[in-house]
Structure 1
Amino acid sequence: MLFPGSRYAAIEVVEVADPDGTRRRTLVTRRVPRTPGVLEYVVLDGERLDHLAARFYSDPQKYWLILDANPEELDPFRLMRPGRRIRIPRDRTAPR
């Protein structure tokens, strides 16, 4: 079940067959949109993605916006190394 407002809510659900023939439903790979208009930020010791999301978006559950803006690093723990420069995008989920 996908919750309304989820970043996956608009993603197509497809049925696929496993090698043994078992069929299951899954989501099509989500395309990460380009993130223009970003702030460059230097990670401080002890910071976490949810803390940054709370600070910049007033919602710790929007940490995934920061992950989407930094696709070169798939490991969120490596992304948050102190001293690393990361991109903080605008909140594209906010009403305009």
Structure 2
Amino acid sequence: MLLKDSRYKDARRFEADEQGNVPCKGTRPRVIGAAVGVLEHVVQEGDRLDLLARHYYSDARLWWRILDANPDLGSGVELALAARVGEVILIPKAKE
């Protein structure tokens, strides 16, 4: 069950095959559109996705929004950006 404001609420569920077997009891990956209204941020030593989210959105739990705008950063397992120092990443506009 997903919360009404979950970012996965519109993701499709896996469908059963001809035998009625469902390959995975979950949702398919959600569609991530292009980031709009973005700022460019040059990664500094010590930057982490959660710390950037706290700075830009006043909520460290919104780190996934930065990851969505920068899919080349990886899977989100690693919040630290030490390997990206000096690179420019996109910070999407905070939702109003």
Shorter-chain TM band: 0.7 to 0.9
C-alpha distance in 1 between matches for 2:9 and 2:51: 24
The 3 A distance-change label for structure 1 pair 56 and 25 is same
CA RMSD of aligned residues (A): 2.4
Q: TM-score, length-normalised on structure 1? A: 0.75
- Inter-partner Cα distance in structure 2 for 1:75 and 1:83: 20
Quick one: which amino acid aligns to residue 34 of structure 2? R
TM normalised by structure 2 equals: 0.75
Following superposition, the deviation at residue 79 of structure 1 comes to 7.8
In 2, Cα distance between the equivalents of 1:16 and 1:79?
A: 39
Identity of aligned residues (%): 39
Alignment match, 2:87: 84
Q: Which residue in the other structure is 1:15 paired with?
A: 15
Matching of residue 36 in structure 1 with residue 39 in structure 2: no
The answer (yes or no) to whether the contact 2:43–2:88 under 8 Å persists in 1 is: yes
C-alpha separation in 1, matches of 2:12 and 2:50: 27
- Gapped regions of structure 2 (runs ≥ 5): none
Q: Which runs of 4+ in 1 moved over 4 A?
A: 75-79
Moved more, 2-11 or 55-64: 2-11
Structure 1: gaps of 5 or more residues: none
1:44-91 Cα offsets, whole Å, 9 max, x none, are: 111110010011111111111111111233254498222121010112
Instruction: Pick which of 45-54 and 74-83 moved more.
Output: 74-83
The CA deviation at 1:26 is: 2.2
CA distance in 2, matches of 1:22, 1:41: 46
Kindly tell me the number of residue pairs found equivalent between the two proteins: 90
Structure with a larger share of its residues in strand: 1
